[in-house]
Structure 1
Amino acid sequence: MLLVEKLQTRRQGRTFEFSLQLQPGEIGLLLGRSGSGKSTLLELLAGFLPASSGVLSADGQNIAHLPPAQRPFTMLFQQNNLFEHLTVYQNIALGLRPDLKLSLQEQQTLQLAAERLQIADLLTRRPGSLSGGQQQRVALARCLVRRKPYLLLDEPFSALDPALRQEMMQEVRQLATEQHIGVLLVSHQPQEAKDQADWLGFIDDGQLKFTAPVSTLQQPPTAEFAAYLGMSSLG
């Protein structure tokens, strides 16, 4: 389990504070206005921002002092950060070894991830020849081969059309369930919470105001969240 208790950081003169729990296999969806602190939370967890106080532990182990590479997170951004001069195979392989010299077992791991995400027939191509959905599958495969227990998604599918976005969310749901991966997803799409997430959190003014199971959110629990949604319910 990922445990975050009053984890604080300062950025551009503002104080941010977050508390949450994430179980393996769960998807938590984080909503909030631009600049509210959603990406700051993910960067704080991943170790890209230093924490000034609070608790950050994974499976009972304190990880707040660990550098990013040693933390149990993989992070996927809206910009998929694929290298245009490398093949799909090589881009995924970077998740295993920066020198691209994979062992036989690592090659098999890569192949399985590619097959799982239906891109096994694209391994010799370069990112520039792929559609947006295919590129995001490649980026997600690179995350999966790292086999970290927690996946941080910072609006990775927002540039895709609604049908592709829904398809990618279904892939994430299956991966979370089958591989017991805990997922934190930043999004501007409340419907994704109703369709795929286990719980929803609302971030406002640098704080995680509440988390609640999606099944209980028939009505917005706060006036601020209702104003954000611009509606009376998630339905």
Structure 2
Amino acid sequence: MSYASTGLKIDGVRITLDGRELLAVDHLINPKEVLTIMGPSGSGKSTLLAYIGGFLDPAFEAKGDVYCSGMNITQVKPQERRAGLLFQDPLLFPHMSVGGNLVFAMPADIQPKTERRGQAEQALADVGLEGFFDRDPETLSGGQKARVALARVLISRPAFLLLDEPFSKLDADRRAQMRDLVFENAKRRSLPVLLVTHDREDALAANGTIIEVGSQIAGQ
């Protein structure tokens, strides 16, 4: 079976728990596009991300394949799938500086050390955090931490983005700003994006196809 050489193809993926089907998805996410899976807690949204990312809880069963740029990554080690993950919490390393968090995620082929720092500083500037390299993550606001998390994901050179309600803990203004920042950066880098959320505003802001769990696909 042949698939497009670009994009993220979710090929007949079905996830079950104790024999009960939670969701079924079959969709090609092209570069620069966002597919949103929308539904309440417990509907299997985050479990789908875990399957695609390669860290599915063994309590769940999943069938189907995932292709990235034409290659089946279903059996590939999680660290080799090049998934860019953003969660509800920024999950910054507290024992590292803001810049250290980015350098940790940077590909090893970027050398020497001065070049790594320079690229990290530029990545921070790109998300509105110029001069934050040496800051302690604990001194940042929630919105600033979310921006650092985005910069860390982008500097790792992901092939696609998996977004697990990354805007849900931000207030309305910062939420809208962060949504715009994430989706604009994904388009600039031609990344396919899978967003899971229970929030309709987030789903509509993604400006892509929405799959409501248990419902038919609706284009937005």
Judge same fold: TM > 0.5, yes or no: yes
> 2:150 aligned with 1:140, yes or no?
yes
Q: Secondary structure at the match of 2:213?
A: strand
> 2:42 aligned with 1:32, yes or no?
no
The amino acid of 1:44's aligned partner reads: Y
Structure 2 length normalisation: TM-score? 0.86
Q: Distance in 2 between matches of 1:103 and 1:203?
A: 46
Is residue 93–residue 102 contact of structure 1 (8 Å, CA) maintained in 2? no
The equivalent of 2:170 in structure 1 is 160
State the Cα RMSD in Å: 2.2
- Between 48-57 and 69-78, the greater mean CA deviation after superposition: 48-57
1:212 to 184, 193, 218: 218
Give the C-alpha shift of residue 155 in structure 1: 0.9
Q: Secondary structure at the match of 1:121?
A: coil
> 2:89 aligned with 1:79, yes or no?
yes
Unpaired segments ≥5 residues, structure 2? 1-6
Q: Distance in 1 between matches of 2:17 and 2:205?
A: 33
Q: Distance in 2 between matches of 1:190 and 1:9?
A: 23
Listed one character per residue, the Cα deviations across residues 158-197 of structure 1 (whole Å, up to 9, x for unaligned) are: 0110110000000012102211111111122212232333
Unpaired segments ≥5 residues, structure 1? 215-235
Is residue 88–residue 165 contact of structure 2 (8 Å, CA) maintained in 1? yes
Q: Secondary structure at the match of 2:120?
A: helix
Percent identity, aligned pairs only? 34
Q: Secondary structure at the match of 1:78?
A: coil
- Between 157-166 and 179-188, the greater mean CA deviation after superposition: 179-188
Structure 1 length normalisation: TM-score? 0.81
**Are the structure 2 counterparts of residues 12 and 165 from structure 1 closer, same or farther at C-alpha, using a change threshold of 3 Å?**
farther
Listed one character per residue, the Cα deviations across residues 14-40 of structure 1 (whole Å, up to 9, x for unaligned) are: 444322211111122221011001000
1:44 to 51, 56, 75: 51
Is residue 24–residue 149 contact of structure 1 (8 Å, CA) maintained in 2? no
Q: Distance in 2 between matches of 1:146 and 1:27?
A: 20
Q: Distance in 2 between matches of 1:53 and 1:192?
A: 28
Q: Secondary structure at the match of 2:13?
A: strand
**Are the structure 2 counterparts of residues 92 and 11 from structure 1 closer, same or farther at C-alpha, using a change threshold of 3 Å?**
farther
